[in-house]
Amino acid sequence: MKDDDRAPYPEIVTHYTSFAEESRLQSGSGPLEFERTREILARVLPGPPARVLDVGGAAGAYSSWLADLGYEVHLVDLTPRLIEEARRRNASAPRPIASLTVGDARVLQRAGASVDVALLMGPLYHLPRAEDRAAALGEAWRVLVPGGLVVAAAISRYAPALGGLSARFTGDPRFVAIRDRVLADGEHHNDTGNPDYFTTAYAHRPDEFEAELAGCGLEDVRVLGVEGPGWILPDLDARWLNPDTRHALVETARALEAEPALLGASNHLLGIGRKR
């Protein structure tokens, strides 16, 4: 692959340069996503002080949490602004992230067999081309020690349709065209100028996601739904503030996380696999 072929999609960097990704997990469906993702990670990761490479980790929401638990965490993200924000936050952290680097998931500047866990919490859903996703997964495989763990996030193929219905975007024919393209082939391209319609992305079918993970040499692969169907509720913010309804949201997502018929109802999927 030529160097110019490896250049990141500029619209993605532009999106995250202006969009406050560092606060996304604090409102809407973000708290449910964050709670459930941490719950799953706590269940599957080896104990600290295992070495974790958080690829596409933005401003370090998961990196900071893991570092605070005693993991040795190395954060990589494509967007310089988000890495600078992570540096600012890291400066006052009692247990800081070990390193923070601007980098591309497809060409990691990291020695082979040097980490115990590779987190891909964003790269796979910003790489529409299958060969780019394979390159990112191949790099994750390369940097893992034998027996090391990959945990990767994907957007569900059906999330734009469900989210657009909840957000009442379906009155805009431009959004409907984006939705229908995603349903047809998974590719999400936003040329409307409306940042609410996200940026260049790819949305996986659950079975397709599992096959991609297995195809890069991972074994014991499984795919879990993160949020369950609760993320589309119009009163989600209010429910999250109430301890009882918050518990119900998390419990329901947990109960349905491995149900094949409902995996695609989650906004995000987590794929888990181990290096042979």
Average pLDDT by stretches of 10, the chain with 276 residues: 53 91 94 98 98 98 98 97 98 98 97 98 95 97 98 98 97 98 97 94 98 97 98 97 98 98 98 96
Beta strands per DSSP E along the chain: 51-55, 72-77, 99-102, 115-120, 144-156, 187-188, 201-204, 218-225, 268-275
**Scanning the structure block, which residue is given the tokens 């952290």?**
93
Task: Estimate the crossing angle of helix 173-185 against helix 159-166, to 10 degrees.
Answer: 160
With CA atoms as reference, report the closest residue to 90 among 22, 15, 17: 22
Dihedrals phi, psi of 118, to nearest 5 degrees: -115, 115
The per-residue pLDDT for 42 is 98
Give the contacts of 191 (CB within 8 A, at least 6 positions apart). none
Residue located via tokens 């990670």: 41
- pLDDT of 2: 39
Give the span between the Cα atoms of 76 and 105, in whole angstroms. 8
Q: Under DSSP, is residue 271 helix (H, G, I), strand (E, B) or coil? A: strand
Predicted local confidence at residue 9, as pLDDT: 79
Q: What are residue 53's DSSP bridge partners? A: 74, 118
Please, what are the domains in the chain? 3-156+205-275 (3.40.50.150)
Q: Is the pTM of this model over 0.85?
A: yes
Please report the pLDDT score of residue 8 as a whole number. Answer: 58
Q: Which of 25, 38, 63 is nearest to 253 (CA)?
A: 38
By CB atoms closer than 10 A (0-12, 13-18, 19+), residue 39 is middle
Report which of 63, 80, 68 is spatially closest to residue 16, judged by C-alpha positions.
80
Return the half-sphere exposure (C-beta side, CA atoms, 13 A cut-off) of residue 92: 3
